[in-house]
A = this chain, B = another copy of it.
């Protein structure tokens, strides 16, 4: 009895656990980050090989990189982490290469493939790929993790801790040695045999899951029981190809701009940077869907996650709320679209501010609703969607960062999809740049890279419209 080893298990909060519940072959619930680096000047030809070899030396695994599921086959019912003391690093850390010419196209193809492979649930839920062969003396790092262990903001913090603002720093560690920091995932040392531990976990879970589901129902019906016409309420979104059942294969495309271009428009039009971003998404979607004869008459709506993480919370677990914005894709004029989007987001944000703290907790859970409802009812992709597309804006580092002398040039988020949600557009701001990642269902969105191209053209169009308007105003004054 006394000789039995102490196994540390870590209980998940219901929100984190929900990502494990809804995991399926068609809807893997992992997220990724793609970071592109320049080789240091005068780097030796063996720089990357040496880097890989040196990173492989790090065999200390920080949470969550050291945690695996207690019972992979019951992950939806008995979600709990346990420390893995025999991690097969060669499995998790992989050295890959691009075929010639190694441009953004070849990189996009490889990332699409890597992000389409599910994680192995018998191991800690992460992969890290160092990718060589990127043209113009660059290389890339792709890190894949499960959303039950990290969200966009938490992942960003982790990345920032991994990098340095000092180009000369040579002490930077690989992601698995850095971890998410903080300590709000509380270890619970349990001495009981496995069967009893599982039983007690199941009981704890049974107490909380129905609570979550009940809360969801209440929040969905009460919080959104309002009739303001400019507000985009959930479940009033039009049906669209973006909201059907999805397959398991992904497409990934990227685009980046100078943040200053977005700021200039926001200032001139007296809207937020995020409103401008929503307008660019709207313009790109309008054209892309129109070309494939799939633009609904009614305006598309977007679910826009908003972080509600307290500033002092170092843990990378999930803490997201969201608003629903009307993308006004029925409007052809970019400026009118921008103003209408602003009106919609203002109302949504007012509602969020007005909720008491306890209300925000419940409101937060609504973000899970499409996933949980689709799991419970099998209706995902068959009913009227809660919203048409997920669009996120994650604030990233403001200054240039380095990894052992290699400068970080761009960073892109790669997101997850669910039945009824075939497209996610997420932007990360970094060192004066706006880095946009498009994650889509391969079968739903043919030629998805066109969305990235059209977004660039939407930006130019909006710039011209704003300039024209300012010109007019100056004339009037």
List A residues at the B interface (Cβ < 8 Å).
48-49, 88, 91, 94-100, 106, 109-110, 113, 117, 120, 122, 132-133, 247-249, 442-443
Closest 7 CB pairs of A and B: A97-B97, A97-B99, A95-B99, A99-B132, A117-B117, A97-B98, A122-B247
A49 touching B100 in the complex, CB below 8 Å, given contacts A117-B117, A120-B249, A247-B122 = yes
A442 touching B88 in the complex, CB below 8 Å, given contacts A120-B249, A248-B120 = yes
Q: How many copies of this chain sit in the oligomeric assembly? A: 2
Q: Which residues of B contact A113 (CB under 8 A)?
A: 94
Which of B96, B120, B249 is within 8 Å of A99, CB to CB? B96
Interchain CA distance A49-B99 in the complex, whole Å: 9
B249, A100: Cβ atoms closer than 8 Å: no
Q: How far is the CB of A120 from chain B (nearest CB, A)?
A: 7
12 example contacts (A-B, Cβ-Cβ < 8 A) are as follows A49-B99, A49-B100, A88-B442, A88-B443, A94-B113, A95-B99, A95-B106, A97-B100, A99-B132, A117-B117, A120-B248, A120-B249
Q: Which residues of B contact A48 (CB under 8 A)?
A: 99-100
Q: Which residues of B contact A88 (CB under 8 A)?
A: 442-443
A91 touching B122 in the complex, CB below 8 Å, given contacts A97-B97, A97-B99, A97-B133 = no
Interchain CA distance A98-B96 in the complex, whole Å: 7
Smallest CB gap from A110: residue in B? B96
Q: How far is the CB of A271 from chain B (nearest CB, A)?
A: 39
Q: Which residues of B contact A117 (CB under 8 A)?
A: 117
Interchain CA distance A249-B132 in the complex, whole Å: 24
Interchain CA distance A91-B117 in the complex, whole Å: 13
Q: Which residues of B contact A133 (CB under 8 A)?
A: 97, 99, 133
Q: How far is the CB of A43 from chain B (nearest CB, A)?
A: 13
Q: How far is the CB of A15 from chain B (nearest CB, A)?
A: 26
Q: Which residues of B contact A98 (CB under 8 A)?
A: 97
B132, A91: Cβ atoms closer than 8 Å: no
Interchain CA distance A122-B116 in the complex, whole Å: 14
Q: Which residues of B contact A132 (CB under 8 A)?
A: 99-100
Q: How far is the CB of A135 from chain B (nearest CB, A)?
A: 13
Interchain CA distance A133-B117 in the complex, whole Å: 23
Smallest CB gap from A96: residue in B? B99
Q: How far is the CB of A89 from chain B (nearest CB, A)?
A: 13
Q: How far is the CB of A471 from chain B (nearest CB, A)?
A: 45
Which residue among A91, A97, A247 has the maximum number of chain B CB atoms within 10 Å of its CB?
A: A97
Smallest CB gap from A133: residue in B? B97
Interchain CA distance A249-B127 in the complex, whole Å: 14
B442, A91: Cβ atoms closer than 8 Å: yes
Interchain CA distance A178-B98 in the complex, whole Å: 28
Interchain CA distance A122-B95 in the complex, whole Å: 29
Interchain CA distance A122-B443 in the complex, whole Å: 11
Q: How far is the CB of A426 from chain B (nearest CB, A)?
A: 24
Q: How far is the CB of A123 from chain B (nearest CB, A)?
A: 9
Smallest CB gap from A101: residue in B? B49
Q: How far is the CB of A122 from chain B (nearest CB, A)?
A: 6
Interchain CA distance A133-B106 in the complex, whole Å: 15
Interchain CA distance A443-B88 in the complex, whole Å: 9
Q: Which residues of B contact A96 (CB under 8 A)?
A: 97, 99, 110
